[in-house]
């Protein structure tokens, strides 16, 4: 029985060492490059045709109501009511549909 307790104590010590190494790894600063934010990404220029193609694909895939709601977010009843400077934001939101 003493041998069993000794083996258990050794295993418990190993578990503790593993937990300490995990805690140290989690608290150490990451060596990764910082994550790219939306502001860091270069602006993509979309044309009316680009936006129309994506929204048409979404609508024909059964998301017509969602496309209409998305247009409403831009105070538009139809695509031509949306300002070209809003195309990028519209495309980003359309990805979520």
The reply to whether the predicted model has a pTM over 0.75 is no
Spans of all domains in the chain:
1-31, 44-97
pLDDT per residue over 10-60, tens digit each?
A: 777 877 787 777 777 777 676 555 555 555 566 789 999 999 999 999 999
Residue identified by tokens 């050794």 is 10
CA 11: distance to chain centroid? 40
Residue with tokens 């139809």: 78
């Amino acid at each position: 029985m003493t041998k069993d307790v000794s083996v258990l104590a050794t295993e418990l010590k190993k578990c503790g060492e593993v937990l300490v190494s995990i805690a140290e790894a989690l608290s150490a600063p990451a060596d990764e490059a910082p994550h790219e934010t939306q502001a860091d990404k270069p602006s993509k220029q979309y044309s009316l045709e680009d936006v129309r193609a994506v929204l048409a694909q979404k609508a024909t895939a059964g998301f017509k109501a969602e496309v209409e709601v998305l247009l409403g977010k831009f105070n538009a009843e139809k695509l031509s009511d949306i300002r070209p400077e809003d195309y990028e934001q519209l495309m980003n939101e359309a990805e979520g549909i």
